Amino acid sequence: MPSSKSELASDCIILTGPTASGKTALGIRIAQRLNADILSADSVAVYKGLDIGAAKPTLKEQAQATHHLLDLVDPASLFTASDWLRTATHTIKDCRARGRRILFVGGTPLYLRCLRDGLDDSPAIDLELRNSLTYQIKQSGPEAFHKKLGLLRPDVAATIHPNDTKRIIRALEIIQVSGVDHKRSWNSAGNPEKRLFPCPILVIDHPRKVLNSQINERVETMFESGILEETEAAEQQYGIGKTAAQAAGYKESLAFIRGEITKQQAITKTKQRTRQLAKRQRTWFRSFSDAVWLSG
For the segment 117-144, what is each residue's pLDDT rounded down to a tens digit? 776 555 555 667 777 888 888 888 888 8
Give CA–CA dist 217/207, Å, rounded: 16
* Residue-range domains of the chain with CATH: 12-120+186-207+282-295 (3.40.50.300), 127-178 (1.10.20.140), 209-279 (1.10.287.890)
Q: Is pLDDT at 87 greater than 50 in this prediction?
A: yes
Residue 208's pLDDT is 94
Q: Which among 144, 140, 57, 143 is positioned nearest to 105, based on CA atoms? A: 57
- Identify whether the C-beta of residue 15 lies closer than 8 Å to the C-beta of residue 104: yes
Q: What is the pTM of this model?
A: 0.76
Q: Is pLDDT at 196 greater than 60 in this prediction?
A: no
Q: Could you report the per-residue pLDDT of 248-279, keeping only the tens digit for each?
A: 999 999 999 999 999 999 999 999 999 999 99
**What is the residue-averaged pLDDT of the chain?**
87
- Identify whether the C-beta of residue 254 lies closer than 8 Å to the C-beta of residue 231: yes
- Identify whether the C-beta of residue 263 lies closer than 8 Å to the C-beta of residue 172: no
The predicted model gives 206-212 an average pLDDT of: 96
CA distances from 236 to 75, 152, 215 (A): 11, 41, 28
Band of the pLDDT at 3, cuts 50, 70, 90?
Answer: very low
